[in-house]
Chain A
């Protein structure tokens, strides 16, 4: 079993969150097309969103987007600048920390929202 290191975890997480976001995108575009059918259809979707299961999903989505987005920016930075390459470990740690902090703050807010 090869040792799993921080960079490799970020690579795996990037894949997983990517797949999660694409799945949501499919669901979201479908939801939007429903919504455009009128107020009743729209409210049905909104009501469904308010169930705990969907809320939980929404929190997870927030986490996925935060990580995927920030980590993606880190990857871009790391591939385009030597400056970032020299500091790739530090930037990786920062990515985890910023994504984590925003996830906790945003996640709580999202969960509490009506």
Chain B
């Protein structure tokens, strides 16, 4: 038998626990930190020059201030790493959860692996989409 479960079970718990923490940070940053206060992010890795550019852009077009504020965060390398980690954990945990449900309910010898692999494939597509967005994001382009 090649089908196993112990690694999956353990990883699901580890990814779950990490998600519990990263989700807290993510939620806090994007919901309560967003706004004028977040301009202080120089200290965590964002170049002063870039920040200045964004600030100027926001001042010239106040209706778009929120976008620039978020973009300033999104573009910081530390947060890029954080976001990639977050997307990876989320995709893994969420889609493995679906696979676990398939294994709970589908016993058909063909459908079971087919559905599981389709789920893994969907997870991969989504993950690529998320990671490409994060990496390629560059507010200087606007």
Contact = CB atoms under 8 A, between A and B. Distances in A.
Contacts of A33: 129-130, 132-133
Nearest to B141: A38
A7 to B, nearest CB: 16
Contacts of B101: 15, 18
B118 to A, nearest CB: 14
Contacts of B19: 69
Given A30-B129, A33-B129, A25 B90 contact: yes
A54 interface: no
Interface of A: 15, 18-19, 21-22, 25-26, 29-30, 32-33, 35-36, 38-39, 42-43, 46, 65, 69, 72-73, 75-76, 79-80
Interface of B: 13, 16-17, 19-20, 23, 27, 61, 63-64, 66-68, 70, 74, 87, 90-91, 94-95, 97-98, 101, 126, 129-130, 132-134, 136-137, 142
